Structure 1
Amino acid sequence: MRLRFFGSSLVSSYWNGAATYYRGLLKALAAHGVDVVFYEPDAYQRQQHRDIVDPPWARVVVYPATADGWRRALDEAAHDADLLVKASGVGVFDRELEIAVPDAVRPGAACAWWDVDAPATLDAVAANPDDHLRGAVPRYDLVFTYGGGDPVVQAYMALGARACVPIYNAVDPDTHHPVAARDEWRCDLGFLGNRLPDREARVEDFFLDAAARLPAKSFLLGGAGWEDKPVSANVRRLGHVGSVDHNAFFCSSLATLNVNRASMARYGFSPPTRVFEAAGAGACLITDRWEGIDRFLEPEREILVADSGAEVAALLDGLDETRAKSIGAAGRERVLAEHTYAHRARTVLDRLGVPVRPLSLGREAAE
């Protein structure tokens, strides 16, 4: 199968939280013989902040972030695609691409809308009777989503989707695994995430409020955009943390905090990439509460759950290294058994009716 995929970026995680999702999933699909070409615009300085070179399992086409650029890229992609995918949040000319892709598909081929921010997308469509996706979604053969469970599936079917299949985040064991801690990053609680409008208030509550309550403990804030954010004296800011450093970030703290964006927490069933990355690295995870957590990790044994910054502080204050390591090990065991991109790729290919090869989970098979 020839897969041609339009997304934000495969080679850069700079202001691009979906990077590791794309990498893990497309690498796993390529392992089944899928021919992958990834189309990404030259935008937002992502090419100047690459985390990886072009991978051996996909060809990367960087096209100019212009009207002519996306049209030429789409013509090239559609020419031989068996499945032509437009992901949400490419960043430039999204509306134009989303409308054009179904018309560009060659006879006998299929197209899919792949929403990597479904809760936010659906909220935006619900608020705007003239949103272009109301007309575009029914023209795609299939909708895949980054998560969302039944609430997202039902909302997309109500929009006229022919089918909607959640493909959840997962872990690539070859990429995210335990490493040695970095002394300069050692802390009691770390949080890694870019500063975004529908995340900021929740970070204030679950992370910064917890830090203010525990002045004797150390907190590490990673991600772009936090440079001018007021924080207490026990919070250190790292700025952008490239994907190559994620394992060290997770392995250098007693615990790692996950904070869902507001829309994702409201819909539930939308664990972000950080949950699986951190669990794959063996980190002790504390997460804000959202419906569906127990579908992925077992509270109290594989992950800790809090309803507020005060509860995060209480959990952290009562956490010692022995329990943190036990939770981290249990979480890692669970994601390797059930939540790798090898598992996710099989779901995609089964839905498309493409034969799959025997399941291979990667790095952990040799451990």
Structure 2
Amino acid sequence: MSRRPLDIVILGLSLSSSWGNGHATTYRALLRGLAQEGHRVLFLERDVPWYADNRDLPEPDFCDFTLYGARGDLDRWRDRICRADAVILGSYVPDAIMLLDMLADWVPGRLAFYDIDTPVTLQALEQGDAEYIARRQLSAVDLYLSFAGGAALERLHALGARQARPLYCAVDPERYRPLKVEKRWDLGYLGTYSPDRQPGLDALLLEPARRLPHRRFVVAGAQFPEDIDWPENVERIEHVAPPDHAAFYNAQRFTLNITRAAMRASGHSPSVRLFEAAACGTAIISDRWPGLEEVLTPGRAILAATGAQDVERALLMPDDRRETLASTARQIVLDHHTGRARARTLAGYLGQLTARTEIMA
């Protein structure tokens, strides 16, 4: 593991705006952790209109940050990119396939791909190519950082990845923590609309809301279709900005975690929302997926549900048991899933990569 500070360049989907994506909060926790560990990071973000109108962190204070308009703008940063200890390109970055080819020429031996959508990527790669990485490029990437562990890493190697390592999402415990706020809702959900998550939301929140009209529910997130039949006891919030996440979680007795279909099928793909809610000391109800028990033990640190009846039983749980469940999950997350813990893991991976490059040179 490298003991010296690293100079890292990251080209990611978004750091400045959390609107409609889960990448921003993931990057923020990781980059804050890297800064705490003494590493230097330049984050390059493509300037696109849908994020330009919704920037909730336009000037991050934990890294160097800049927007670029097109591939040619990156020439301005070429010297720093070429001198960096490691360069990381993230999933869903616009024109990522072209950028990956370019970066493979600029920084041979020091190029990583950070896939925050691994199960979705695997599904696309096995059917042809993903829109942000081509199958031919897997062997050109020196380190493939995967949001999913377990069998996903074996599938990546089978497709041609030379070195695939897990790098789960993480939470910033200074921003996600217990707060003394009124409990406004019995069960809530925070997440952007996704067609493959909607059946889970229907079964584990909307149906319980219909069965329990005296209970209070909330769904916060953008892009939900207008034709959804929301029960009267379900409050809708279009967007909760990251600075308000902690207060939102703390206002819930339970929060719901729903996993995208590809991630649920692949397993070993914990959501950042899982860690955020746990760090806030909010009890969690989650759908079931392989590897959940390796993150938070069902029945001890989290409740796993397959249908509305499981949720109904959870909502009848005595407060002392709910609080024990929540505090157990919080301690596990503080011990193993903070941005700083994840930064140490990443620095270890990149330090080995850099050392190998130096030996080759």
Preserved CA contact (<8 Å) 1:219 1:235:
yes
Deviates more, 1:158-167 or 1:342-351: 342-351
Q: Which amino acid aligns with 1:145?
A: S
Is structure 2 residue 290 aligned with structure 1 residue 284?
A: no
Is structure 2 residue 280 aligned with structure 1 residue 299?
A: no
State the identity as a percent. 35
Q: 1:123 to 1:77 in 2, by over 3 A?
A: farther
Q: Which amino acid aligns with 2:89?
A: K
Preserved CA contact (<8 Å) 2:71 2:99:
no
Is structure 2 residue 146 aligned with structure 1 residue 141?
A: no
Is structure 2 residue 50 aligned with structure 1 residue 49?
A: no
Preserved CA contact (<8 Å) 1:224 1:240:
yes
Preserved CA contact (<8 Å) 2:121 2:130:
no
Q: What displacement does 1:321 show?
A: 2.4
Q: Which amino acid aligns with 2:325?
A: I
Give the structure 2 partner of residue 81 of structure 1: 84
Q: 1:176 to 1:256 in 2, by over 3 A?
A: same
Is structure 2 residue 37 aligned with structure 1 residue 38?
A: no
Match of 1:224 among 213, 222, 225: 222
Deviates more, 1:219-228 or 1:245-254: 219-228
Alignment deviations for residues 315-354 of structure 1 (CA, whole Å, 9 cap, x no partner): 22x2232222221111111111222222212222222336
Give the structure 2 partner of residue 25 of structure 1: 30
2 CA distance for matches of 1:354 and 1:63? 30
1 CA distance for matches of 2:45 and 2:261? 27
Give the structure 2 partner of residue 72 of structure 1: 75
Q: Secondary structure at the match of 1:285?
A: strand
Preserved CA contact (<8 Å) 1:227 1:237:
no
Q: Which amino acid aligns with 2:218?
A: L
Q: 1:190 to 1:128 in 2, by over 3 A?
A: same
Q: Secondary structure at the match of 1:38?
A: strand
2 CA distance for matches of 1:145 and 1:20? 16
1 CA distance for matches of 2:175 and 2:233? 30
2 CA distance for matches of 1:214 and 1:170? 34
Q: 1:133 to 1:182 in 2, by over 3 A?
A: farther
Give the structure 1 partner of residue 358 of structure 2: none
Q: 1:129 to 1:67 in 2, by over 3 A?
A: closer
Alignment deviations for residues 207-234 of structure 1 (CA, whole Å, 9 cap, x no partner): 2222222222111000111262221111
Q: What displacement does 1:13 show?
A: 0.7
Q: Which has the higher contact order (CA 8 A, sep 6+)?
A: 2
Preserved CA contact (<8 Å) 1:39 1:73:
no
Preserved CA contact (<8 Å) 2:187 2:255:
yes
Alignment deviations for residues 226-249 of structure 1 (CA, whole Å, 9 cap, x no partner): 262221111110011100111011
1 CA distance for matches of 2:199 and 2:130? 29
Is structure 2 residue 126 aligned with structure 1 residue 121?
A: no
2 CA distance for matches of 1:61 and 1:308? 45
Q: Which amino acid aligns with 1:236?
A: E
Q: Secondary structure at the match of 2:97?
A: helix
Q: What displacement does 1:85 show?
A: 0.8
2 CA distance for matches of 1:220 and 1:231? 10
Alignment deviations for residues 123-155 of structure 1 (CA, whole Å, 9 cap, x no partner): 011122697521011101000012x22211001
Preserved CA contact (<8 Å) 2:124 2:130:
no
Q: What displacement does 1:57 show?
A: 2.0
Q: 1:73 to 1:161 in 2, by over 3 A?
A: farther
2 CA distance for matches of 1:178 and 1:141? 40
Match of 1:102 among 94, 101, 104: 104
Give the structure 1 partner of residue 329 of structure 2: 331
Q: Secondary structure at the match of 2:180?
A: coil
2 CA distance for matches of 1:312 and 1:76? 54
Q: Which amino acid aligns with 2:215?
A: K
Q: Which amino acid aligns with 2:23?
A: A
Q: Which amino acid aligns with 1:93?
A: D
2 CA distance for matches of 1:130 and 1:54? 31
Compute the RMSD of aligned alpha carbons: 2.1
Q: What displacement does 1:282 show?
A: 0.2
Preserved CA contact (<8 Å) 1:14 1:49:
yes
Q: Tell me the TM-score normalised to structure 1 length.
A: 0.88
Preserved CA contact (<8 Å) 1:209 1:310:
no
Give the structure 2 partner of residue 111 of structure 1: 111
Give the structure 1 partner of residue 157 of structure 2: 157
Alignment deviations for residues 29-61 of structure 1 (CA, whole Å, 9 cap, x no partner): 222222100011111432332222422220111
Deviates more, 1:268-277 or 1:301-310: 301-310
Preserved CA contact (<8 Å) 1:63 1:73:
no
Give the structure 1 partner of residue 172 of structure 2: 172
Preserved CA contact (<8 Å) 1:7 1:86:
yes
2 CA distance for matches of 1:197 and 1:206? 15
2 CA distance for matches of 1:257 and 1:79? 43
1 CA distance for matches of 2:330 and 2:130? 44
Preserved CA contact (<8 Å) 1:3 1:84:
yes
1 CA distance for matches of 2:142 and 2:167? 16
